[in-house]
Structure 1
């Protein structure tokens, strides 16, 4: 019954009301007064707000019980149940027309129906069928335009497209100066990196990729050093004006 009354008042968490815990009980009473009962003016609820000081709250609660008209009960559960019933009554009297069509039969029918949770997707990509033929055709066409090698799995091709767009077509990538000069002749020369001829070529490629990763790491380190220098530099130094001090 207690849970039903709390749900009727749209309490945020009816299962969390532990009447044996006096602070929880005090917080529930305060919520009912603030949201539903409103026996006091806002400025007169100071005592009820002292839920972290239970002795002071008890004094305010004794006055509150008298002002609201709570009968004498033997347990906090009975007091809270009465307050909830009183709050439900006030809620009904505020707008009785909203509850004219509600009866026990309607409630039973509502509870007997299992309502599946409805999840509204906020990301438009969630509605895309990544296996649809039109999507596959689009990925293949984009890969061909970007000169990306064919792969049986179109999703793998899509990952390659994302990588190419990020590394070559993104605004940040366009700002970088293109690398000019002759390509590194990694397929030439007599210095073998692997004894097996079948492994020599791929190992050379992996070595170049490793060098590229190290260069990118060095670039990030340099950028970090510049940022730290900007933060730790003399605050009286204005490099834009070309002078030190003021």
Structure 2
């Protein structure tokens, strides 16, 4: 707390004030009087300046405490704490309007701001405006090149582009054998998916997409089962631990 008060008063060395060192203590009292309290006129501070002559300074300090109406304290720490609080109060009374905007909420905000880490975005996409007209035009041009139907929402269209790129142009897709043959005419099935003829076709498409998602899920489940079997079906034993007989 002593250091914080000294910092608030802009002491040149708040961390090095040792109140148990009488000369340092005397120098700090003199600094407070010269810079902050100013109880005496400059010419009346002569004895307080004699920090190298402690007998003279001690008598001047006793008079100084009396003139300030300082309460009786036992330790130097209590005395300097009171003097610091007194100096801070004088600082406030000199210009109260400059402190009117300082409160616990603002101080907390400043502390949190100083503690919060400064993160610089290194990803190019973090600074991109996804609603810029050039970006939207680029998404639609890419969709046209990939023969993807246009959608009113360019972000949904971008998701479709990403899926097509993943399914057809990713490294794993390049080694995949192309599907040949005649596509199944799902729109000509005998089953009735929807009573509304306008909805029947899109509902059939959604059903096929759901089947595809289930197949992908089943593939991942099978891969997980195989991986677990590889771990438990090949136990390693240490024959050195084996015993023969009793």
Question: If the length of structure 1 is used for normalisation, what is the TM-score?
Answer: 0.47
Question: If the length of structure 2 is used for normalisation, what is the TM-score?
Answer: 0.47
Between structure 1 and structure 2, the one with the greater Rg is: 2
